[in-house]
Amino acid sequence: MGYLRNRLIQAFVTLFSIVTIGFIFIRLMPGGPEDYLRSNIRNNPQRYGLEPRPTPQEIQRVLNDILITPPDEPLWELYIDYMTGVVQGDFGISYVVEPGAPVMQLIAEAAPWTIFLSSISMVYGLFVGIILGTVMAYYEGTKFDLGMTASMLFNSAIPYYVAAILLLYLFAYQFQWFPRGGRMAPNTTPGFNLPFIRGVFYHAALPSLSMIVTGFGGGALGMRANAIRILGSDYIRVARLRGLSAYKISTRYLGRNAILPMYTGIVIGIGGILGGSVILETIFSYSGMGLLMFEATVARDFPLLTANIVIGTLFFVVGTLVADFTYALIDPRAEQSSMG
């Protein structure tokens, strides 16, 4: 119970600290939503229900309607008001990206798309990395192992956004096999129907592939290192004496135990699934949490930007807690060592 209490306290302090620091630094950034909004209203008055060439008084009236919080209110008052709303689940409204729209509504619409895209990338990347890493460990020291290790080192050194740009240029612009952006096919009705589902996977192909081809290398190397440490175990020798195939030994016996040290990182990665897609979604114009955060940053949309940080941090902290509390369930040795 003491460990559980301490971990929950640490999680609360971490979440509170990150939210506070994020709130302060975001509002200390140069510019602000008022300047961005004023420029937007002047350049696109029809969006705000104004005639072309609006007067300064009309612009100010629209600003006063959108900016519920006075721009000159002290920072400490803004902080207290904001934290009070966060505790109640109210993150305010968007100032610029979708003026007047509740922030949680925008996040609720964008988050499932990011979770879908990141889940595909994570599942396939882990699957390839785990299988490849265990086979590399089983054939440790051979030409296959040396060649694949060098390839995985090169693979893990390539940033995913470089792969994303290359895939987009090659398969979307040159061959035109895939769409250049978006998250679903036009003229389709969202729901459980084949045209919509097919369009969703079609638009997610290149973004997820760019994460998979650059992500499985690190997983394979980590899996190889873990598997090599247990190659001399008794159950591996018994499996060899039984005449089992190399594939069955490396995947069923070696891989199952070598994946345990990676469990914490995998679960934490799931927890951070909402915060790592800003560049990827911007490249592919994929309307998820990442693109929403990018638009909020550019527009200085403080409520929306701060809410993104809060939600992303919350997922990460919860993922860390889940990893800590469930590791003992899959590996009883961890519980015994902690008790000792």
Q: Residue 4 pLDDT > 80, yes or no? A: no
Residues 160-183 have a mean pLDDT of: 89
Looking at residue 169, what is its pLDDT?
92
Q: Residue 139 is which amino acid?
A: Y
Strand positions, DSSP E, the chain: none
Cα 260 to Cα 242: distance, rounded to the nearest angstrom: 25
More confident residue, 174 or 8: 174
Q: Residue 173 is which amino acid?
A: Y
């008794």: which residue's tokens? 234
Cα 211 to Cα 223: distance, rounded to the nearest angstrom: 18
Q: What is the tally of helices (H) and strands (E) in the chain? A: 16, 0
Per-residue confidence band for 340, with pLDDT thresholds at 50, 70 and 90: very low
Q: Residue 230 pLDDT > 80, yes or no? A: no
The pTM of this model reads 0.78
58-77: pLDDT as tens digits: 888 877 777 665 556 677 77
Number of residues that this document lists for the chain: 340
Per-residue confidence band for 336, with pLDDT thresholds at 50, 70 and 90: very low
DSSP per-residue string spanning 254-311: IHHHHTGGGHHHHHHHHHTTTTS-HHHHHHTT--SHHHHHHHHHHTT-HHHHHHHHHH
Cα 24 to Cα 30: distance, rounded to the nearest angstrom: 12
Give me 59's structure tokens: 């612009």
Q: How do the domains of the chain map onto residue ranges?
A: 103-339
Cα 308 to Cα 94: distance, rounded to the nearest angstrom: 12
């610029």: which residue's tokens? 96
Coil, strand or helix: which one is 239?
helix
Residues 233-257 have a mean pLDDT of: 73
More confident residue, 270 or 243: 243
Question: Does domain 103-339 sit in CATH 3.40.50.880?
Answer: no
